[in-house]
Structure 1
């Protein structure tokens, strides 16, 4: 019986295509087949370019924000990053309804125009004399508004396990919430812990995220084979456990502390300094001040004085584990959700899934920036570990209900 359940999880998302079945009687013409795959490849390219652009911007937001407005702190960074998803969440139903009543080219062209204009605004937010951080906030919100895709909203379908649907939405929310906060905190965390300059944080952070992208591609290919043996639910559970281990490793331990930005004291006096050290300091200062601000953990963050640093080995190990767990959970959430909904039109329900993901990308950056700035990495990552434990508990409770539509209808025994 258990093997039948796993086989049911591996069935095609659009149902049975064997001869004699209702779905198998549908014959696709060669022209329709080519047109469909042409559209799919265009979507692949669009998603690739969108992801590349998003990754480039996400790593440079914090240094850019610090450069254009000195009053911006790490907590405001969360709002800037969240504004993108907020704009996307607001725009998605608007463009969806628009595409129902008008030709789809209209909302698509308008969304592209908004994206171009918003990115131009983002590129020039350094020009105003004041309040630059708010201009950046508006720019990122407009970029998200323009990034909303005009998906078609279709009629809801009946006979669906609403508990399974709601639970999968919650699981998907947590998965995106976790990764959104991780990619948000990479730059400020590395600048605080390792005294990296802005350029170093952007460069090294970009390399790390690029490596995680390569890792995700490998994970995606391996998951296809693994899911045939153990099923999607088991992979989702395993991915959440790996993510928990990754954030647990990220907790700061030991007695080594990060470098502190003693900017004010350093500017006023240089106590117990030899003549040679004074000459070296004077020689270095003009060049450093010209290119970079002070490095290290800001003294304004009180936790910097008593929280041990997160070693590079800890950070890299955690990144690797999160890079394994996140893509596993992400793709399994989508797969399970599609199978729960069944072969009928899924537009409305997929809209809810997209909304939950957008909400996660709004709240994740805001949560991590506020907690990290006020309480430090120990509290921030401990809370994340607790959230993952609650999510694993939820998955255990609804585990038996996350089955394919055909299994629930009795077409295939579990």
Structure 2
């Protein structure tokens, strides 16, 4: 999980400039598909690896997935070499990288089977912490694996109820609800990390180099923030429970996106340099000479900055102030890791002691589907209607998710609690 997040964090902020450099025909809409291809590969691979891990040693799918990831990253590094169709090579490379990342289902399945109910939240939090450390290039972390169907590695008399043969059915309503919640959580973060680079380039007239640098720093800061939040959640969950923390996390995310809504009378810098026509401006001969002299002194390789006039919303949508943007980043950075952790922690408890490889595969596939649709959704809405419509729709989606959580709140309990073997 650490290595996967390291690889992801290295690439994500530079995809857009890299794509523009290797293939001039690529536009913002294609960027959404490139980012989504990672999740498409993961969505396909997760159930396969999960099913594989239920019947074979877990090290087999882990080794195969790591080999695929290494090969795919090598392909990504050299997509600039072919003479044409470079953007499609990048699309394939990112899809294969995502396929290799499907091993997340195996890791979570192993963790669920190797821990007791009381240990589950802490163990899942440790996995999320390793992911967060990957975003800030933290110390190396090695993930243990098991050869066969595992029992509780901390087995004692207090946890015998959970490892007995399960009696009772899994609450499928709760399972579906958690999959939907997890989908939305990954959806909103995927669209956020997709739009952050184009948004900052449009709003603050950052160059490509500045956007990659500053947004990379922001991503690393989010990783640090996530580590701190996850350590706090491990303690807080013992007092108020996972469901309440999940609800609180969704509310914080909603506030974060609400703050991102544009307001005020200040507008972003317009990228007028993109306009080219055959009209002759009404200028004097002296102004023409001065203009030619200035243009000869400029670096013609530097791309114009600002909000492109090709995006009509740039003319009437207020700028998102930097303080406004950074406040939103902090809030989303608090809410996302909390919701992510609580979703699959509750999921593993709802499933109980049964082998969870396939179920975890479907959960990971649900998240991967969100990471497919999120970039495509935000790139299309943002390009055509701008940040106001985009973030209004996101706020609406999060509000509906909070409503869903309220409806199924009482059903999101552990398998053992549901059948009265353990008191919550």
TM bracket, shorter-chain basis = 0.7 to 0.9
C-alpha distance in 2, partners of 1:96/1:79? 26
- Give the C-alpha shift of residue 252 in structure 1: 0.7
C-alpha distance in 1, partners of 2:265/2:56? 63
- Give the C-alpha shift of residue 234 in structure 1: 0.9
Aligned to 1:366: 376
User: SS in structure 2 opposite 1:309?
Assistant: coil
Tell me whether 1:211 sits opposite 2:221 in the alignment.
Answer: yes
2:416 to 403, 406, 413: 406
Tell me whether 1:94 sits opposite 2:104 in the alignment.
Answer: no
Q: Is the 8 A contact 2:187 2:371 kept in 1?
A: yes
Aligned to 1:14: none
C-alpha distance in 1, partners of 2:188/2:224? 19
Tell me whether 1:66 sits opposite 2:16 in the alignment.
Answer: no
C-alpha distance in 1, partners of 2:197/2:381? 16
CA 235–68 in structure 1, closer or farther in 2 if over 3 Å, else same: same
1:282 to 281, 295, 301: 295
C-alpha distance in 2, partners of 1:71/1:186? 22
Tell me whether 1:340 sits opposite 2:350 in the alignment.
Answer: yes
- Give the C-alpha shift of residue 127 in structure 1: 2.3
Aligned to 1:143: 97
Q: Aligned pair count?
A: 365
- Give the C-alpha shift of residue 404 in structure 1: 1.7
Q: Is the 8 A contact 2:54 2:355 kept in 1?
A: no
User: SS in structure 1 opposite 2:265?
Assistant: coil
CA 394–104 in structure 1, closer or farther in 2 if over 3 Å, else same: closer
C-alpha distance in 2, partners of 1:353/1:379? 29
User: SS in structure 2 opposite 1:148?
Assistant: helix
- Give the C-alpha shift of residue 125 in structure 1: 1.6
Tell me whether 1:231 sits opposite 2:241 in the alignment.
Answer: yes
Instruction: Give unpaired runs (5+ residues) of structure 1.
Output: 1-46
Aligned to 1:316: 326
TM-score by length of 1: 0.81
C-alpha distance in 2, partners of 1:281/1:361? 45
Tell me whether 1:192 sits opposite 2:146 in the alignment.
Answer: no
C-alpha distance in 1, partners of 2:193/2:263? 22
C-alpha distance in 2, partners of 1:277/1:249? 44
C-alpha distance in 1, partners of 2:410/2:282? 67
- Give the C-alpha shift of residue 343 in structure 1: 2.9
2:76 to 111, 116, 122: 122
2:259 to 244, 249, 257: 249
CA 409–222 in structure 1, closer or farther in 2 if over 3 Å, else same: same
Aligned to 1:222: 232
Aligned to 2:7: 53
RMSD of equivalent CA atoms: 2.6
C-alpha distance in 2, partners of 1:194/1:372? 16
CA deviations over 1:292-325 (Å, ceiling 9, x no partner) = 3111111221111111111111110000000011
Q: Which moved more, 1:345-354 or 1:242-251?
A: 345-354
C-alpha distance in 2, partners of 1:302/1:270? 23
Q: Is the 8 A contact 1:157 1:344 kept in 2?
A: no
CA 163–280 in structure 1, closer or farther in 2 if over 3 Å, else same: farther
CA deviations over 1:59-106 (Å, ceiling 9, x no partner) = 100111111222222121111001011112212333445556766665
- Give the C-alpha shift of residue 370 in structure 1: 1.0
C-alpha distance in 1, partners of 2:23/2:319? 27
Aligned to 2:389: 379
- Give the C-alpha shift of residue 114 in structure 1: 2.6
Q: Is the 8 A contact 1:59 1:202 kept in 2?
A: yes
Aligned to 1:163: 173
Tell me whether 1:303 sits opposite 2:316 in the alignment.
Answer: no
C-alpha distance in 2, partners of 1:293/1:376? 21
CA 231–92 in structure 1, closer or farther in 2 if over 3 Å, else same: closer
Instruction: Give unpaired runs (5+ residues) of structure 2.
Output: 111-148, 150-164
Q: Is the 8 A contact 2:230 2:338 kept in 1?
A: yes
